[in-house]
Chains A and B, each alone.
Chain A
Amino acid sequence: MNSPILSARGITHAVGSGSNRFTVLRDITLEIYSSEVLLLMGPSGSGKTTLLHILGCLLKPTAGAVTVAGESTQSLNEEQLTALRLRQFGLVFQAYNLFPVLTATENVMVALDLLGVAKSAARDRAHELLTLVGLGHRLDGYPLQLSSGEKQRVAIARALAGDPPILMADEPTAALDAEAGLKAMKLFHMLAHRLQRAVVIVTHDPRIVHLADRVMWLEDGQIVLSPRPHPEVSSLGVGAAL
């Protein structure tokens, strides 16, 4: 079995203090592998988004350790964690959070700019990625001129720009209709299986469960359902599903 690209051991996270202290996550342990799509599901307030923050090195847990590509994050300071996110993670946000003042191409270029890629090379790469996600005809479109599905594809292209081994998405289908949501999910699945990315998705959407390799169900900050990891998974037969 491959070693996990991302692992969490004994993650506990609490907020507040004194009598107002509230434990959001309790002793979560999990491993995430390349070439798999992991869904984090659960009712509102179950702690899935907090877990995504912690796995994505956006938030330090109260207790426990996160290891990314073999590197422990426990002793890293904020700027080191930021640099780690840049190298290891591609993020797709619920509201896409594209720069409204930049075109689709320029939005993707920002991710490459952060990596220090020269402008002309970044532009070529952005065009290539946007074309690959089906937006070759909207390269110069501003977010306001794009549909929700198109915005999301720009966000995915942006997340892919730096070639990160881990992709994380927060409710990626929430703003999409059923068809667009399914297409987006198929895209994530393809990214995991063809490009060997680890994809972690927080969702409420039961329509996309069949495209996941694993589903973790959280309730009250604890994992209550988690099938055994299967890093080589491809049994869902993406080609057939498409």
Chain B
Amino acid sequence: MSSANDIRILAEGYRRPPPARQGHSDLTLLIAWRNLIHDPVRFIVTLVGIAFSTVLMGIQLGMLLNFVHTTSIIVDHAGADLWIAAQGVRSVDLATPIEERRRFQALAVGGVAKAEPMLLQFRPWKRGNGVREMVILIGVDPDSEMGLPSLVEPQMSAHDALLVPNGVIIDRLYAEKLGVHSVGQLVEINDHRARVAGFTEGIRTFTQSPYVFTSLRNARLLTNLSDKDITYVLIRLAQGHSEDAVARALSKRMPDIDVLRREEFAEKSQNYWLFTTGAGITLISSSMLALLVGIVIVAQTLYASTVDRLPEYAVIRAMGGPRPYLYKIVVKQAVIGGVLGGTIGLGIVTLIAYLLRDSSSPPQIPVWLASMIGVVTILMCICASLVSLKKVMDIDPVKVFR
């Protein structure tokens, strides 16, 4: 104020404030943003912490999703409506032989359009250098409609590849692991000679024992099982029949075997590996740990930022600001951190998933999982802000006068 004139202008120029309008956009977002960028180093540390937590969560959950999908990949892609298996089967990979007559019994049940055999067994594969690897041998009838793989090399159908004498089909992902270089290469499975007849792509295994497809006849030979042995009967329903009704009819006809719907068998296989082996628990607990790490990092940086701003928050209370106004500032700080840190983290996760796309255990990050991680990250940041909210809740406006 330079002169008395200014003060007169103040008096003469003074007007009433504009009328208040409820529900307008307030300044809390601006204050929250400025609070964050006021200390750039702390803000960067916060973002790095949130991004780190998001990356950990994303990779762990992506691997978990891949794990879940891989454990039931055979069931999911076989194309069967129902699976007939030995009683008490726990997972598709842990098959116990049943007699092939079950297939004919199934065909006699109303509503069954097709019933095809499948044989699945772990057997050793001997590489050229003598090293043995366990593989999961899957035998299917070349004329089957269910359970056949799709070949990417050579340009022929699975039917034709399976008709190659002693022919086996492996996935490209595991060619190196199994010491295979090209189609036509001779290999040794369970002390029997076999020939690589083709490659598939993307049929992953979570057990590190690759799937090897062959004809049912060859599979029996390679596994030393009898001509009457199979492990599954794959059922396709006739049009207009319900899975439940046919499953009940099959169970009634063959009470000593298990009849499972595709989803049921897939879920059973997933649950077995997730919850009885500890692998799933490990991945889930790692994800939870990542979440906790994120909460701790965000909580402590947000708390420090809130403590720094307490005098200003007390001013707002003294000026007549309601508590929710302050809560909004703190929560918006958390949400901004969550959105920015989460976006950075998800970007890194997507990059990692892309770089690992050809590995045997690539994290799977579909849009729904990325969205879920994004939401969890923001919720994590809001949870982390609760500690700060407590501090804000206890603000005494009298303090600003001291």
Contacts and interface: CB of A to CB of B under 8 A. Distances in A.
Q: A and B: real partners?
A: yes
B10 A114 contact: no
Nearest to B38: A101
Contacts of A160: 14
Contact of A242 (B4, B9, B320): B4
Given A110-B31, A133-B1, A194-B10, 9 more contacts: A49-B401, A83-B322, A86-B321, A97-B315, A109-B27, A115-B17, A116-B21, A125-B18, A195-B11
B325 interface: yes
A134 B6 contact: yes
Given A52-B401, A79-B322, A82-B321, A161 B1 contact: no
Given A119-B27, A133-B1, A163-B16, A194 B11 contact: yes
Contact of A106 (B30, B317, B323): B30
Contacts of B38: 100-101
A163 B320 CA distance: 13
A119 B31 contact: no
Interface stretch (A17-25, A61-69, A182-190): A182-190
B319 A114 contact: yes
A116 B319 contact: no
A158 B38 CA distance: 22
Given A134-B1, A170-B401, A101 B9 contact: no
Contacts of A121: 18
Interface string A171-198: 0000000000001101100110011000
Interface in A87-110: 87, 89, 91, 93-95, 97, 99-102, 106, 109-110
A99 B30 CA distance: 12
B2 interface: yes
B21 A132 contact: no
5 contacts: A94-B401, A111-B319, A132-B9, A190-B7, A190-B11
B322 A110 contact: no
B162 to A, nearest CB: 71
Given A89-B320, A91-B318, A93-B315, A128 B15 contact: yes
B17 A162 contact: yes
Interface of B: 1-4, 6-22, 24-28, 30-31, 34-35, 38, 311-312, 314-323, 325, 397-398, 400-401
A83 B14 CA distance: 24
A112 interface: yes
A101 B333 CA distance: 14
A50 to B, nearest CB: 9
Contacts of A239: 4
A81 B274 CA distance: 57
Contacts of B22: 116
B164 to A, nearest CB: 73
A84 B3 CA distance: 34
Chain A contact patch, size range: 35 or more
B401 A58 contact: yes
A91 B27 CA distance: 20
Contacts of B14: 132, 160, 194-195
A124 B321 CA distance: 21
B398 A59 contact: yes
Contacts of A97: 311-312, 314-315, 400
A134 B2 contact: yes
A114 B13 contact: no
A183 B1 contact: yes
A128 B2 CA distance: 17
A99 B31 contact: yes
A113 interface: yes
A216 interface: no
Contacts of A79: 322-323
Contacts of A116: 20-22, 24
Q: Which 10 A-B pairs have the closest CB atoms?
A: A86-B320, A194-B11, A242-B4, A101-B34, A116-B20, A85-B320, A121-B18, A97-B315, A132-B10, A113-B27
Nearest to A109: B27
B138 to A, nearest CB: 64
A52 to B, nearest CB: 7
Contact of A93 (B12, B20, B30, B401): B401
A161 B15 CA distance: 10
A153 interface: yes
B319 A86 contact: yes
Nearest to B7: A190
A242 B7 contact: yes
Given A93-B315, A132-B10, A153 B1 contact: yes
Nearest to A189: B7
